[in-house]
Amino acid sequence: MRIAAVQLDARVADIETNLEACERLADRAGADGAEAVVLPEFFTTGVGFVEELADAALAPDGAATDLLRSLARRHGALVGGSFLCRDEDGEVRNAFLLADREGEIAGRHDKDLPTMWENALYVGGHDDGVIEIPQNGLLSGSASEHPRVTIGAAVCWELMRTQTVRRLRGRVDLALTGSGWWSFSDNWPPQAVWRRRERANHALAIRAAEQFATFIGAPVAHAAHCGELRCPMPWSPMPYSGRFEGGARIVAADGRVLAARDRGDGEGVAIADVEPTRRPPLREPPDRFWLHRRGAAAAFAWNYQRLHGRRWYRDHVAGRPAREVRSGVPA
């Protein structure tokens, strides 16, 4: 099965521009024969601690979903990605939707825990992220040629947590994942210390999908963001100035990288042929919350930005109407 992972240089909060870029990149993947295409986390908006994102969540049946469905029908492929989605209860969730080749929504996964400043933008979900694709929704051909495939959905730092491994391990044939992983800021003193920590952060962002495949025993397609980001920093007089880590890649179940884009490669598509099938996982998950140990700086940011973000979300995001945006594609 030919799988494509998109690497996107999004304009934060510019939904129309980002949808156009996603359509262009997904069309490139479809022209190369992709039978599954995954878009990155926040493919409609990008991400940052940006006030405009308080009003950027789309309805579950809005422009983002229209794009996924249209692309799936156009290319006869599975197409998925996550976006800020305002549900009927007024809450915003980071929702991964997957359209089958006939343009029907096969399933949805809500990211379980917001990461750091993301707490200001949405609330977490509770589903297992396992999506069954019916035989007629996967590929053309007979049922014997293309048996049912089970997709596992995971978003960004879900690839870092033991609980994600436990819900998908041995249960899925292919994981479709995406991230909006940002760097340490370039302007925090002492800069020599943060540069060292950023090298480790970038290395972890790159290898997260590779190691995740060995924990769950299935191939992984990982979409990503690249490009620069500047925005305010919660509860800090110093702004954030950094970049997205990139790292779109297609990974075999044993962790081998079959196709990849680094952040320096810019926008584009990583595409490779993989066999979607579950295998005995090569690694056992550790008996702790994180798959990979986090440093003191990351732990501090995780906790203080969660406290700040939940208050900011309540005051600025919860209960607002969904954003209405024309997708430019037929539903």
Query: What is residue 135's predicted lDDT score, i.e. its pLDDT?
Result: 63
- Residue 8 pairs in a beta bridge with 225
Tokens 């949405």 locate to: 122
Instruction: Calculate what percentage of the chain has a pLDDT beyond 90.
Output: 87
Query: What is residue 193's predicted lDDT score, i.e. its pLDDT?
Result: 87
Query: What is residue 136's predicted lDDT score, i.e. its pLDDT?
Result: 57
Query: What is residue 146's predicted lDDT score, i.e. its pLDDT?
Result: 52
Model confidence band, residue 327 (pLDDT cutoffs 50, 70, 90) = low
What residue spans define the domains of the chain?
2-316
Q: With b meaning 16 or more CB within 10 Å and e meaning fewer, what string describes 27-56?
A: bbbbeeebbbbbbbbbbbbbbbbbeebbeb
In this model, does residue 91 exceed pLDDT 70?
yes
For range 218-247, the mean pLDDT: 96
| Topology, domain 2-316 | Nitrilase/N-carbamoyl-D-aminoacid amidohydrolase (3.60.110)
- Count the Cβ atoms, other than its own, within 10 Å of residue 293: 9
Model confidence band, residue 190 (pLDDT cutoffs 50, 70, 90) = confident
Tokens 């422009």 locate to: 63
The 8-class DSSP code of residue 75 comes to H
Phi, psi of 40 (to 5 degrees): -75, 165
Query: What is residue 310's predicted lDDT score, i.e. its pLDDT?
Result: 97
Among 104-113, 242-251, 275-284, 321-330, the minimum mean pLDDT is found in: 321-330
Among 124-138, 236-250, 305-319, the minimum mean pLDDT is found in: 124-138
The 8-class DSSP code of residue 266 comes to -
- In 3-state terms the chain splits into helix, strand, coil percentages (rounded to 5) of 30, 25, 40
Query: What is residue 328's predicted lDDT score, i.e. its pLDDT?
Result: 57
Is residue 270 classed as helix, strand or coil in its secondary structure?
strand
- Residue 221 pairs in a beta bridge with 176, 250
Query: What is residue 144's predicted lDDT score, i.e. its pLDDT?
Result: 46
H or E stretch at 92: strand 92-99
For range 199-205, the mean pLDDT: 94
**Segment 155-173, tens digit of pLDDT:** 999 999 999 999 999 999 9
Please tell me the pTM assigned to this model.
Answer: 0.94
Quote the CA–CA distance of 74 and 101 in Å, as a whole number.
8
**Segment 12-55, tens digit of pLDDT:** 999 999 999 999 999 999 999 999 999 999 999 999 999 999 99
